[in-house]
Chains A and B, each alone.
Chain A
Amino acid sequence: MSFPIEIYVTQAMHGLVYGMLLFLIASGLTLVLGMMGVLNLAHTSFYMLGAYFAYSITIYLGSFWLSLLISPLIVGTLSLLIERFLLRKTYKGGHTAQLLLTFGLLFIFGEFARIIWGTAPLTISAPQVLAGNIPFMGRTYPVYRLFILGFSSLVLLGMALMLARTRLGIIIRASVADAEMVEVLGNNVPRVFLLVFGGGGALAALAGVIAAPFLSVYLNMGIDALLDCFVVIVVGGFGSLFGALIASLMIGQLQSFGVMWIPQLALIFQFLFMAVVLIIRPTGFFGEKE
């Protein structure tokens, strides 16, 4: 099959947008996994809740921009509470306990959203400034997708600076490598972890807010994203933020071009990709050897 070049560029842009969105969600998940070995199944529920809160805030307060601020705050606080009062009790119980606990939370949040917002998909319209299209290589491209790209790049930049340049960032990176040693050196790892967990939740919610006008808000959005996130953290390597970025962008492209060329297999591209990576390089691109 052959397509004109503009289509390729447009598809690549679509892939890039989805990849960046995926990275925002997966970054918290991979850091939490890397630091404490907790595979948080409820992580993408934060993304879903972020989108739903954005819907309500946009309806009641009338401003999408406000929801961009408030929704991550609400969800971030919620995830702080979850870590502090539920998850923290399970560290001695091992991975199974955490899996079961976060799976339970996944159900509770899903059902909670169903009760409050109903089962029908909801739509939020993007703010006036970001609506519409701009000319792009002889065709048009939606402004809102460009906004997602720009905004998530900004967040990425901020996160990278935080991790590379601040004391907290150094402690986080060191904890991913060896949490016990960092604790022995006199750092309060549980508190840092609490912050990472809350921050990860807020980031996922942020992703939910900016995804809402673009993908619409629906109940299964969390589960859909969860599967992609799994692939991202496995391919990138557990705990590796850079790996997660690369993997997210690759999955974005894979999805975007996969749908174009072989639509029948769109469901499983990322899983085939994950399987191949795991078979060839079991720790992912940037994961450390056990």
Chain B
Amino acid sequence: MSRPQTYRLVWTVAVAALILIYPFLVAEIKVHLAVEVLVYVLFAISFNLLFGYSGILPFGHAALFGIGAYGTALILNHFPKIPLPLTLLLAISFSFIAAALIGFFCVRLKGAYSALLSLAFQMFIYAVALKWRSMTGGDDGIGVTLPDLHLPVLGIVSMKNIYNLYYLTLIIVAIGILACYVFLKTPLGNSVICIREKDMRAAFLGYDVFLTRLAVFSVSGLLAGLAGALFVLFQKFVATSCVGLDMSLTVALMTVIGGSGNFFGPVLGATFYVVFQSWVSSLTKHWWIFMGMLFIVIVLYLEGGLISLFKSEKIRLWVSRLGK
């Protein structure tokens, strides 16, 4: 193996090991934070699949997150007999279907029009969640009791235990990220990038632009729904904030803060966002000002997002000097 490859392997193993033993290193409250980070990481990854890789800005991505979340909560409450994995599977198939429907209209339009149409759909679903009180509880939301997970070897695993929940979330999020990564390596994933670069040229080369973009929209919706489902397991609660404008904007900000040009940018962005927000909001109740300033600083001085810090030559040089 060449030296950079070795370095990369060592880093990957170190980070993976850290993530695995993380719950035992910190206080329980930090484990809660970590679960939240994981959920948002998956959501941001799904957002970036559209934003970074397909050139579609889904301004109302919370719609799909919310459908996954409400789907999970409703199944848990109305059909408590259904085992948890099947519940999750059902919930993400709802969001997949919804994404296919919304995408059917959104992917035909360009730029800001597409973004705002997706926002319109999100507001529609928001209004349904707010007004259909008998089903969704309106403003009050729906609380859920978490079922136990029946596993072949481990027996009954309670989801009320945050450590168990951490590992469940970790596994599912890892599968989601891996699926996304593999998807981008397939010929379909490559044609998505090709269409982003120049859709007319791709069409001339024989790619079905509409169908390809619809496919990626649906896959992204599925992942967003999965994040939503995990969010319900974590919060034990779902409310209209899950389908609100704030949620849509939050995921967009996470992605851009981390850097949308890189696969792991959203991971970094979501982690940073959640941790930074929790830190600043513990210091001051006017934390929105600091969040606002953060966005402005990143726009003006860090164009490629936080991930570009790792890529910049200056920093790399500085790190290598430290190593000597």
Contact = CB atoms under 8 A, between A and B. Distances in A.
B303 A97 contact: yes
A111 B109 contact: no
B260 interface: yes
Interface in A63-112: 86, 89-90, 93, 95-101, 103-108, 110-112
Interface in A259-283: 264-265, 267-268, 271-272, 274-275, 278-279, 282-283
A86 B120 contact: no
B112 A108 contact: no
Secondary structure class of chain B's binding surface, majority of residues: helix
A279 B292 contact: no
Contacts of A107: 288-289, 291-292, 295
A290 B299 CA distance: 27
A275 B288 CA distance: 31
B292 A111 contact: yes
Interface stretch (B22-30, B38-46, B121-129): B121-129
B33 to A, nearest CB: 22
B292 A108 contact: yes
Nearest to A42: B292
Given A107-B288, A114-B286, A268-B127, A100 B293 contact: no
Chain A interface size band reads: 35 or more
Nearest to B102: A275
B201 interface: no
A232 B109 CA distance: 17
Interface in B170-226: none
Contacts of B113: 234, 278, 282-283
Contacts of B300: 86, 89-90, 101
Contact of B296 (A86, A114, A271, A279): A86
A154 B127 CA distance: 36
B298 A100 contact: yes
Interface in A1-38: 33
Interface residues of B, number: 38
B160 interface: no
Contacts of B296: 86, 100-101, 104-105, 108
Contacts of B105: 275, 278-279
A193 interface: no
Given A100-B253, A105-B292, A278-B116, A272 B124 contact: yes
Point out which of A231, A278, A279 has the most chain B C-beta atoms below 10 A from its C-beta. A278
B236 interface: no
A112 B299 CA distance: 21
Contacts of B291: 104, 107
B119 interface: yes
A22 to B, nearest CB: 16
Contact of B124 (A95, A230, A231, A275): A275
Contacts of B116: 230, 234, 274, 278
A204 interface: no
Contacts of A279: 105, 117
B123 A290 contact: no
A101 B294 CA distance: 9
A39 interface: yes
Secondary structure class of chain A's binding surface, majority of residues: helix
Nearest to B246: A223
A275 B104 CA distance: 12
Contacts of A33: 112
A227 interface: yes
A144 B280 CA distance: 44
Contact of A104 (B121, B130, B294, B303): B294
Nearest to B123: A271
Given A108-B292, A271-B120, A278-B117, A101 B299 contact: yes
Interface string B115-143: 01101110110110011000000000000
A110 B298 CA distance: 20
Interface string A223-242: 10001001100100010000
B295 A111 contact: no
A110 B292 CA distance: 10
A267 B127 contact: yes
Contacts of B110: 282, 290
A115 interface: yes
Interface in B140-168: none
A272 B121 CA distance: 8
B316 interface: no
B84 interface: no
B303 A112 contact: no
17 contacts: A90-B300, A96-B57, A97-B299, A98-B299, A99-B252, A99-B256, A100-B296, A107-B295, A108-B293, A112-B289, A227-B123, A231-B120, A267-B127, A271-B120, A271-B123, A279-B117, A290-B111
Interface of A: 33, 39, 86, 89-90, 93, 95-101, 103-108, 110-112, 114-115, 223, 227, 230-231, 234, 238, 264-265, 267-268, 271-272, 274-275, 278-279, 282-283, 290
Interface of B: 57, 105, 108-113, 116-117, 119-121, 123-124, 126-127, 130-131, 245, 249, 252-253, 256, 260, 286, 288-289, 291-296, 298-300, 303
Given A101-B296, A268-B124, A290-B110, 12 more contacts: A100-B253, A101-B299, A101-B300, A104-B291, A104-B294, A104-B295, A230-B119, A267-B127, A267-B131, A268-B126, A271-B121, A271-B127
